[in-house]
């Protein structure tokens, strides 16, 4: 498939302001945000109408490697401003994933010790990364999942509550606020206001809520779509099956226009396709986001669909995501896209 160059509606001024890398930064804090927007055109070839385009917001380009840098920075900033986080405190939270990495990185640069409680089946890479940033890690029972880590973290804090600052991304409004203030405006500028649909995976709900609110404030017709696993037993790290989970207080489902369920296997297949066809190696939640974006885009006559890709793929290389990838070839993408078409046809009949 030959690459076709298509012009993208953005002003030269916006391009010069938004796409040049920061020349010099005083702190890693200043490197968070202003992530690139990449058009995904090759894996979607032939599936969409000509005036429908899909773009991926590549949050893996943040210094901690994920979208979670934004929420972590804002939660710590608000904590510092309110005095809840002050010298002598230790930052603690239960997180197996990207938030743990972000907190560990930011704790290091801000000079605060960080303790993380994570289930013992967190990936090898994650365990090593947070420890490389100097964080202390306590492991919880893998069979109890994230709930087990949450409960163990509560026990630790209860023993010495004055010692800790617990950001609690699930109930901290600074989480969606970070996206309202940064991710949302970036998407608006990078598409020159042409965005029609936002597709974001649901974990805490912070990204979908914050970016969605900002975009709707600029254009109420923009639709916000959440993506979640199709079953409580799933392999989509970072995403929550909301129907079977404790609903995060910051998540307000009524603010979504639509919710799409994605199977783990389909998301994994899309990750392989993105690597080998688009040249971008991402985590499984990005694969799920693209499946969701395709489900939306294939129904459109025209539109600009922006999918949030929460992170890149390096930290998953030791995980089950890569079981069976060796036999991947383009025919598997063809089957996946055919499945998308069939589901679309079934949905419209």
Partner 1 sequence: MAVQIRVPTPLRRFTGGTDVVSANGSSLREVIDDLERSHPGLRERLLDENGELRRFVNIFINGDDVRFLDQLSSQVKDGDDISIVPAIAGGR
Chain residues binding partner 1 by CB under 8 A are 68, 94-99, 118-123, 142-150, 169, 203-204, 231-238, 240-241, 244, 264-265, 268, 319-321, 323-324
How far is Cα 147 from Cα 117, in angstroms, rounded to an integer? Answer: 11
* Residue of 213, 287, 286, 215 lying closest to 250 (CA atoms): 213
Q: Which of 68, 74, 240, 315 is catalytic?
A: 68
Q: Which is nearer to partner 1, 197 or 315 (CB)?
A: 315
Q: In this structure, how many other beta carbons lie within 10 angstroms of the beta carbon of residue 280?
A: 17
Q: Which is nearer to partner 1, 8 or 139 (CB)?
A: 139
Q: Which is nearer to partner 1, 48 or 119 (CB)?
A: 119
- Least gap, CB of 180 to partner 1 (angstroms): 18
Tokens representing residue 23 in the block = 């020349």
Q: Which is nearer to partner 1, 186 or 237 (CB)?
A: 237
- Least gap, CB of 228 to partner 1 (angstroms): 13
How far is Cα 273 from Cα 247, in angstroms, rounded to an integer? Answer: 32
Cα dihedral 246, 252, 258, 262 sign: negative
Q: Which of 66, 94, 146, 285 is catalytic?
A: 285
Residue 255, judged by CB atoms within 10 A of its CB (0-12, 13-18, 19+), counts as middle
- Least gap, CB of 250 to partner 1 (angstroms): 12
DSSP string spanning 82-120?
A: HTSS-TT-EEEEE-SSHHHHHHHHHHHHHT--EEEEEET
- Least gap, CB of 278 to partner 1 (angstroms): 21
How far is Cα 234 from Cα 74, in angstroms, rounded to an integer? Answer: 30
How far is Cα 141 from Cα 71, in angstroms, rounded to an integer? Answer: 27
8 A C-beta contact, residue 73 and residue 29: yes
Q: Which is nearer to partner 1, 94 or 190 (CB)?
A: 94
β-bridge pairing 303-309 and 197-201: parallel
- Least gap, CB of 173 to partner 1 (angstroms): 17
- Least gap, CB of 72 to partner 1 (angstroms): 10
How far is Cα 4 from Cα 45, in angstroms, rounded to an integer? Answer: 11
Backbone dihedral region of 40: left (phi > 0), alpha (psi from -120 to 50 degrees) or beta? beta
How far is Cα 279 from Cα 277, in angstroms, rounded to an integer? Answer: 6
Q: Which is nearer to partner 1, 30 or 147 (CB)?
A: 147
For this structure, is 285 an active site residue?
Answer: yes
How far is Cα 265 from Cα 144, in angstroms, rounded to an integer? Answer: 23
Q: Which is nearer to partner 1, 99 or 190 (CB)?
A: 99
How far apart, in Å, are the Cα atoms of 130 and each of 123, 150, 247?
11, 18, 26
- Least gap, CB of 147 to partner 1 (angstroms): 6
Residues serving a catalytic function are: 68, 285
């Amino acid at each position: 498939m030959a690459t076709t160059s298509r012009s993208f509606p953005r002003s030269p001024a916006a391009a010069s302001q938004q796409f040049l890398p920061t020349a010099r930064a005083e702190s890693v804090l200043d490197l968070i945000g202003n992530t690139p927007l990449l058009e995904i055109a090759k894996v979607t070839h032939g599936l969409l109408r000509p005036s429908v385009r899909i773009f991926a917001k590549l949050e893996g380009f943040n210094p901690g490697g994920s979208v979670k840098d934004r929420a972590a920075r804002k939660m710590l900033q608000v904590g510092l401003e309110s005095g809840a986080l002050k010298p002598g405190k230790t930052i603690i939270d239960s997180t197996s994933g990207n938030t743990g990495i972000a907190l560990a990185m930011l704790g290091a640069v801000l000079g605060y010790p960080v303790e993380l409680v994570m289930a013992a089946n967190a990936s090898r890479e994650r365990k090593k990364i947070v420890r490389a940033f100097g964080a202390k890690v306590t492991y919880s029972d893998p069979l109890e999942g994230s709930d087990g880590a949450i409960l163990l973290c509560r026990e630790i804090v209860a023993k010495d509550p004055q010692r800790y600052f617990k950001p609690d991304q699930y109930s901290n409004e600074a989480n969606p606020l970070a996206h309202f203030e940064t991710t949302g405006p970036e998407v608006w500028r990078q598409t020159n206001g042409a965005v029609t649909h936002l597709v974001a995976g649901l974990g805490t709900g912070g990204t979908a809520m914050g970016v969605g609110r900002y975009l709707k404030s600029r254009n109420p017709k923009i639709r916000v779509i959440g993506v979640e696993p199709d079953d409580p037993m799933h392999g989509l790290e970072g995403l929550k099956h909301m129907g079977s989970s404790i609903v995060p207080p910051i998540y307000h489902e009524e603010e979504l226009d639509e919710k799409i369920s994605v199977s783990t296997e389909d998301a994994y297949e899309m990750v392989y396709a993105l690597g080998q066809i688009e040249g971008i190696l991402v985590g499984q939640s990005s694969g799920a986001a693209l499946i969701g974006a395709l489900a939306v885009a294939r129904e459109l006559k025209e539109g600009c669909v922006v999918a949030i890709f929460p992170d890149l793929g390096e930290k998953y290389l030791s995980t089950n995501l890569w079981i069976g990838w060796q036999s991947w070839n383009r025919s598997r993408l063809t089957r996946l896209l055919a499945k998308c078409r069939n589901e679309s046809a079934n949905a419209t009949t």
